[in-house]
Chains A and B, each alone.
Chain A
């Protein structure tokens, strides 16, 4: 399963361009196409929002944390950056979470998944770099708030940018971004093993 997160929404418009382009609108359009491409590859997809509402960071994380074996992708459009490029961000290393009760603290939920997130991020970024010249070839590290509380391989994809002179420039990127994400996730799925967490009794739990 893939949980898609069109960022912002509601009163939070996200990045705003001079031509009236709003990140919260554009990411919904991107999400719709990414969902189609992922479903075409055989994935079940759910979205953290389908309309102009704004779930909290934790509500969005809860959607994916309730699933087993899911991946999480949050979609953003930047204010800056070279226009027509796309970057993938993953969380940097998080200190090992203490789990005396066999549970991972909510605010360190990403800790056991950092390596897997980097792998997923690199695969998606490589696909994006093939389609969008000037994009990095590997995923970048950034402490993105939304990713920290996510107990799954999780990446943030950021498109540049809302500053384009014409909204059509962003629209043209939609199919390429959707295809790159779908291919990256498909490749990741081949080697994805859900990590096990050590329990207090010395055993492991998925």
Chain B
């Protein structure tokens, strides 16, 4: 016959297992919540280090068009309209839209730029060249690859094209320096075409790289015309 103390011990162990099984999902939920909170806090800290671009206080909200990716992460960009109090000053306006682009879309899977990257400076030269100086994280945290790097730059150029017509082309610096490539693939020694219609209508200036898809279509048309 089984001693009474063994039955009691078995009962206690069984109760402990049931209690643990009931408590585990709640514990997991709490751990996930804490992890999310830590992530947000890190990102918040980074943003606090970068002074936000001055905004036109009291001014009317403007419908800014920002280009983020899609969940498919296949290089497709999707325009999202965001109400922003945009400045009339082109450089400040560029900072505002790029900071919003960096902050990311509602769906984090549609991000085109790494969450820990920051825009350190943006200025516009008299010839219409915009200089965007990003932190090192733009190159080190972006998913490596031609497609992902091209998508990142394209999201920047198309966002500028839609909101800051004064920027004709874009030069990307990393921490104030020109670098060879973004993350081993996309050429950052050149400038990227921002505003201005396509290759066929307006030949690129020296050192200009063109990456937008409409321009690729223009290239195809030009090639077909050359063949004829």
Contact = CB atoms under 8 A, between A and B. Distances in A.
Interface of A: 7-8, 12, 14-16, 23, 57, 76-82, 87, 89, 92-93, 95, 107, 115, 118, 138, 140-146, 148, 156, 158, 160-161
B99 interface: no
Nearest to A107: B189
Contact of A76 (B145, B180, B207, B223): B145
A8 B144 CA distance: 11
A143 B206 contact: no
A142 B146 contact: yes
Contacts, number: 107
Interface of B: 72-75, 143-148, 150-151, 180-181, 184-190, 192, 199, 203-211, 215-216, 219-220, 223
Interface majority SS (helix, strand, loop, mixed), chain B: loop
**The 5 A-B residue pairs with the shortest CB-CB distance in the complex, in nearest-first order:** A79-B143, A78-B145, A143-B209, A145-B187, A145-B181
B219 A78 contact: no
Residue among A12, A14, A142, A158 facing the most chain B CB atoms (10 A cut-off): A142
B148 A141 contact: no
B215 A92 contact: yes
B219 A15 contact: no
A115 B72 CA distance: 31
Name which of B184, B199, B207 has the most chain A CB atoms within 10 A of its CB.
Answer: B184
A157 to B, nearest CB: 10
B216 A141 contact: yes
